[in-house]
């Protein structure tokens, strides 16, 4: 299902983004990812900044990515959406159901879209959508402790830090967001 949050109806979920003193009235639109998004998703996931803050920092080969994407597109309990603003794809948000009512979230933005508040807005919009359309009531995020940009975005999107752990040799914070 394609989805847009109406700013008038969802004030808690949409706020103004800003960069360098410029306010942006932002409405984030989400659509399900398709196989046609493979190259775009691959480029985003292999962006040097994304790799640097991931738990696995090695570049992802095209063949591995296309196999992974095909699996995710058909996997029950996986919700992979492309976020856009004004018709431009700005990033992806993915939820992977881990048990009844709970999912892990992953997000990445196009390099040219970082720093405008789109991360926070995409998170809020995607969480609102997954809470409305599924039985998910708890969303988990695992963020490397050195990924300060993501930490700020998740905290601004109402995620609460609930612990610290080690994932693949990296120290990480565990954040949660509960369905209102």
DSSP 139: E
Which residue range is the domain that position 125 belongs to?
3-140
The residue with greater pLDDT, 20 or 26, is: 26
Which token pair is 98? Answer: 């881990």
Kindly report the average pLDDT of the chain as a whole number: 89
> Looking at the domain assignment, is residue 163 inside a domain?
no
Kindly report the CATH number assigned to the domain that includes residue 59.
3.40.630.30
Which token pair is 165? Answer: 């752990």
* 8 Å CB contact between 35 and 70: yes
> Looking at the domain assignment, is residue 160 inside a domain?
no
> Looking at the domain assignment, is residue 88 inside a domain?
yes
> Looking at the domain assignment, is residue 178 inside a domain?
no
> Looking at the domain assignment, is residue 128 inside a domain?
yes
Number of domains in the chain: 1
> Looking at the domain assignment, is residue 10 inside a domain?
yes
| pLDDT value of position 1 | 44
* 8 Å CB contact between 97 and 77: yes
Separation between Cα atoms, residue 176 and residue 144, nearest integer Å = 15
pTM across the whole model = 0.86
Query: What's the pLDDT tens digit per position in 77-124?
Result: 999 999 999 999 999 999 999 999 999 999 999 999 999 999 999 999
């Amino acid at each position: 299902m394609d989805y847009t949050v109406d700013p008038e109806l969802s004030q808690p979920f949409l706020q103004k983004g800003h960069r360098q003193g410029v306010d942006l009235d932002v409405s984030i639109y989400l659509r399900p990812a398709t196989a046609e998004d493979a190259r775009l998703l691959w480029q985003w996931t292999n962006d040097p900044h994304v790799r640097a803050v991931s738990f696995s920092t090695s570049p992802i080969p095209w063949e591995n990515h296309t196999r992974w994407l095909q699996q995710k597109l058909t996997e029950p309990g996986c919700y992979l959406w492309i976020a856009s603003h004004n018709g431009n794809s700005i990033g992806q948000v993915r939820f992977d159901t881990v048990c009844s009512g709970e999912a892990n979230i992953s997000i990445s933005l196009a390099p040219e879209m970082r720093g405008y508040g789109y991360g926070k807005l995409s998170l809020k919009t995607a969480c609102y959508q997954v809470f409305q359309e599924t039985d998910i009531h708890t969303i988990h995020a695992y963020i490397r402790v050195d990924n300060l940009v993501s930490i700020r975005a998740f905290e601004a999107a109402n995620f609460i830090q609930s612990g610290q752990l080690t994932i693949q040799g990296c120290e990480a914070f565990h954040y949660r967001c509960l369905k209102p």
